[in-house]
Structure 1
Amino acid sequence: MEKLKQSIGSAFKANDLGEVSFLLGLKITRDRRARKLWINQQSNVDSILQKFNMEHGAGVATPTAAGKKLTKQQAPATEEATAKMLKKPFRQAVGSLMYQMIGSRPDMAFAIQDTSRFLSNYGEAHWQAVKRCIRYLKATRNYGLEFSGNAVVLRAYTDSDYAGCEDDRRSVSGYVTMIGNCTVTWSSRKQRIVAQSTAEAEYVALAHCTREVLFLRQLLKELGYEQAATVINEDNQACIAIAENPAQHSRVKHIDVRYHFIREHVQHKDVNLQYVVSKDNVADALTKGLPRDQLEYLREAMNVKSMG
């Protein structure tokens, strides 16, 4: 570390301010003896609650109501209703929540992805969904990511919610990547195609996850941590069969060729696809709204924990 500091100091004007404790809204706490580090954004949560006048509102246990869908049909139907909704700080709220999610809260990824689809035309149901996210933040204001352990082994989880969007029947892809037991990157996004089966939706989600895994493998290699085949956990056995068995080409030839790069990396042993039951698939929390008990179980698995 000292050598790195000297190298930077010789090229740039720099001051050593000591151990970092706060950076870009992220509070960083560490216990060197226990080899643990925590990142949370509690001050940002307080700012959000104050900005949207929700300091005294009741908290909720989940960011989305399980099974409840947001649709375009819930947008205003008249100019009067539209004008009324434009007075609501919907876009500002989504932006504030987005920063929170990107920094330390993968458990909110699906909820933010879902509400952000309506930035150009939002109704009362969409606004209430955003307010629910804020109430969830209030209930979990001291939660953040915990990093611990010595293992530098990359692994990932991927999932999709087949035809989850009621407006266009596109699916939602989600992935979580971890080093040891520590979550490092995550994503929840709507797919660009209309999948014709659950297996196809899972295959597209697997492609998104694989791209992220390949990037992280290269990054770790440059840092001196070359990886064996990275385990990607998938809860759809048909999807795994498509990726591992080129003989199934006739069944999947309609799938865009850009997704079939997965097969090459399976054959080259860059990735190792493993089946995981849905209840243990961490990425499930990034593709749909879940009941409280399942969300809390997967949140714990992502190492999103209370900082006390």
Structure 2
Amino acid sequence: MGLFFSNTCKEDLIGFADAGYLSDPHNARSQTGYVFTCGGTAISWRSMKQTLAATSSNHAEILAIHEASRECVWLRSVVQHIREDCGLSVGKEAPTVMYEDNAACIAQLKDGYIKGDRTKHILPKFFFTHELQKNGDVRVLQIRSSENLADLFTKALPTTTFKKLTHMIGLRRLKDLNGCLIRGSNCALHSFSLNYGFSHWVFLVRFLMR
């Protein structure tokens, strides 16, 4: 298996964030998961146990999208740096779309930190995403849970769902790309290994040219 990067897909940077509420019930900890794709293929992802005890699924989702937002800021700076080095025009970038499947989380991030019964126990710093939205850096949109690619990094999934989501992040088998190679298309297959927790990756790059 490897990540397939097509030379025809023009999708910009897109983020997906999710949380597995109380994935570790013995320690009252939830799981954060996020993945960013560019050109329809994953370029950055992470799965980590949350260090705070989330009091609700909404709380866990806010913690998860906070981590994803921090990664998004870094990825946007990388993209801008590449554009500058390539001599491309650098202006105000369009907001990076980040998908989240929890409606309550999206509503709270839109309104910002409000000290009320629902949010008074959540540290204000976790509403960092709200500031990014206000500044036009990100745009948080709702997506169905079944289509949230970050679901891969929060919990065990049924086989059919797992295969669907791994295909959507760009994972392919080499034998499935034979048709592409026969037609003479340019493509690159990046095989990779993941350590425990899916938090880091090592790419072994192999270019398949005409």
Residues in 2 aligned to 1:247 and 1:212: alpha-carbon distance in whole angstroms: 21
**Does the residue aligned with 2:80 lie in a helix, a strand or coil?**
helix
Structure-2 change in CA distance of 1:240 and 1:221 (3 Å): same
Q: Name the structure 1 match of 2:138.
A: 271
Give 5+ residue unaligned stretches, structure 2: 176-210
Partner amino acid, structure 1, of 2:119: V
Q: Name the structure 2 match of 1:157.
A: 16
- Does residue 106 of structure 2 align to residue 240 of structure 1? yes
- The size of the alignment, in residue pairs, is 166
Match for residue 290 of structure 1 among 135, 157, 171: 157
Match for residue 60 of structure 2 among 197, 201, 206: 201
TM-score, normalised to structure 1's length?
Answer: 0.52
Aligned residues with identical type, % of pairs? 32
- Does residue 42 of structure 2 align to residue 176 of structure 1? no
Q: Name the structure 2 match of 1:72.
A: none
- Does residue 11 of structure 2 align to residue 144 of structure 1? no
The one of the two structures with greater contact order (alpha-carbon pairs below 8 A, sep at least 6) is 2
- For the aligned residue pairs, the C-alpha RMSD in angstroms reads 1.4
Asked which structure has the greater CA Rg, the reply is 1
Match for residue 97 of structure 2 among 231, 250, 253: 231
Give 5+ residue unaligned stretches, structure 1: 1-142
Residues in 1 aligned to 2:101 and 2:62: alpha-carbon distance in whole angstroms: 11
Residues in 1 aligned to 2:120 and 2:10: alpha-carbon distance in whole angstroms: 39
- Dislocated runs of 4+, deviation >6 Å: none
Match for residue 257 of structure 1 among 93, 103, 124: 124
Partner amino acid, structure 1, of 2:107: A
Higher strand share: 2
Are 2:113 and 2:127, in contact at CA under 8 Å, matched by a contact in 1?
no
Are 2:16 and 2:150, in contact at CA under 8 Å, matched by a contact in 1?
yes
Deviation at 1:249, TM superposition (A): 3.4
Q: For 1:73-112, what aligned pairs fall within 5 Å after superposition?
A: none
Partner amino acid, structure 2, of 1:145: L
Residues in 2 aligned to 1:206 and 1:197: alpha-carbon distance in whole angstroms: 15
Partner amino acid, structure 2, of 1:245: D
Match for residue 167 of structure 1 among 12, 20, 26: 26
Are 2:97 and 2:139, in contact at CA under 8 Å, matched by a contact in 1?
yes
Match for residue 306 of structure 1 among 166, 173, 195: 173
Deviation at 1:150, TM superposition (A): 4.8
Residues in 2 aligned to 1:247 and 1:150: alpha-carbon distance in whole angstroms: 38
Deviation at 1:247, TM superposition (A): 6.7
